[in-house]
Chain A
Amino acid sequence: MGLCVHDADHFHEIGSPLAHLDDGEGASDAERRCIAYFRACSEKALQGKSMEEFCRAELARLASPAGACAPAK
């Protein structure tokens, strides 16, 4: 069975649109500030956990009686 994704021609790598700016090369000052902001947010949200660890903890919290709620989207 073959899978076809329309017009796809780059399957060997994946990243956020900002990933190519990891070293800051070519980034504007505004883009650098945006990258720094999101990295700080991520560190604050994950607090050293992997995303999998983070999700397990969140799901356990949301499933608890105190955290019962509609599913997050």
Chain B
Amino acid sequence: MFVLEQGWQLPLEPDAARVAPDPFDPHSMFVIARADGKAIGIARATMICDAFPHAEFFTDLMARPELQAVRVAIATVNAVAVLPEFRGRAVRIDGRPHSMTAAKALMVELTRRLREAEAEVVLLTTSPGLAAVFFDHLATTSSGRPSRAVAAP
């Protein structure tokens, strides 16, 4: 999704056969949505005291005393991705009475796990568009106007 749809250029392994491992992955938690056994969506979260992916986007924010005071309880979420055919489509959740989109289900589960990890603040970046509306729907607040970052992993 990030490479084909958004044009990101991910670092490759020396033989260029596949994408190099992400150094933040071992410090992160993942949730995966599956339909009929096939992975259709994923989301990643990291407590920033363990590792801080895309820290460069939050430099100014992290300098704020309001954030410094709760630093140990800050997490960041990224790599939220759902296959195109499952986007915006409410689906039944196995064993549950409620239907919702795969993206929302992923974020619900990730939020639950972050609460268990004693996270109080979650930071993420998104582009202006459906993704921003989606995160707004999840009761996030916008910390500023969109940045003009060059696409990167």
Contact = CB atoms under 8 A, between A and B. Distances in A.
B91 A3 contact: yes
B7 interface: yes
Interface in B51-100: 57, 64-67, 69-70, 75, 91-94, 96, 98, 100
Contact of A16 (B7, B125, B140): B140
Interface string A1-38: 11111111111111111110000000000110110111
Given A42-B141, A71-B6, A34 B109 contact: no
B109 A5 contact: yes
B18 interface: no
A11 B105 contact: yes
A58 B140 CA distance: 18
B48 interface: no
A31 B94 CA distance: 36
Interface residues of A, number: 45
B56 to A, nearest CB: 11
Contacts of B36: 1-2
Contact of B147 (A12, A41, A52, A72): A72
A11 to B, nearest CB: 5
A43 B20 CA distance: 40
Nearest to B36: A1
Nearest to A34: B66
Contacts of B33: 3-5
B72 to A, nearest CB: 10
B3 interface: no
Contacts of A16: 111, 122, 138-141
A41 to B, nearest CB: 5
Contacts of A31: 70, 120
A12 B112 CA distance: 12
A6 B32 contact: yes
A6 B37 CA distance: 12
